[in-house]
């Protein structure tokens, strides 16, 4: 559709500028042109649907990557805590780390749910 509109605009500009366009008999009938135009419209609609699905998949992959990063950071913190501190401090720090990372994870999940509801 956009291509047809551009061609029509170019012809209007050419007519307005005074250039003469040699009119040859059409090589394509109006029916064939309309059929091709409808097919192009369906293809464009299909492509836009595919693009929307790809955007959704990419958002999902992004959220998975964020969750992986949070888990990796949490595991690193937990391992460092287990290695370095005594038993009492270790339990306190582990609980703090778990609570902190759960809140991060829930915040990201809420953000994802919000993004999905906007679509």
Domain parsing of the chain, residue ranges = 26-118
Half-sphere exposure of 12 (CA within 13 A, CB side): 6
Counts of helices then strands in the chain (DSSP H, E)? 3, 0
**How far apart, in whole angstroms, are the C-alpha atoms of residue 63 and residue 60?**
5
Residue 2: DSSP 8-state: H
CA atoms within 13 A on the CB side of 50: 6
User: pLDDT tens digits, the chain, 119 residues: what are they?
Assistant: 566 677 767 666 666 665 555 666 668 888 888 999 999 999 999 999 999 999 999 988 988 898 888 888 888 887 877 777 677 777 787 788 888 888 887 888 787 777 777 65
Q: What are phi and psi of 18, to 5 degrees?
A: 95, 0
């Amino acid at each position: 559709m956009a291509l047809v509109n551009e061609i029509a605009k170019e012809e209007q500009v050419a007519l307005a500028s005074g250039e003469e366009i040699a009119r040859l008999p059409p090589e394509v009938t109006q029916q064939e042109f309309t059929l091709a135009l409808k097919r192009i419209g369906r293809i464009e609609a299909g492509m836009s649907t595919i693009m929307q699905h790809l955007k959704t998949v990419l958002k999902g992959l992004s959220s998975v990557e964020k969750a992986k990063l949070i888990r990796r950071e949490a595991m690193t913190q937990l391992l460092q805590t287990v290695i370095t501190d005594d038993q009492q401090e270790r339990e306190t720090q582990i609980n703090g780390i778990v609570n902190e990372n759960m809140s991060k994870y829930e915040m990201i999940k809420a953000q994802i749910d919000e993004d999905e509801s906007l679509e």
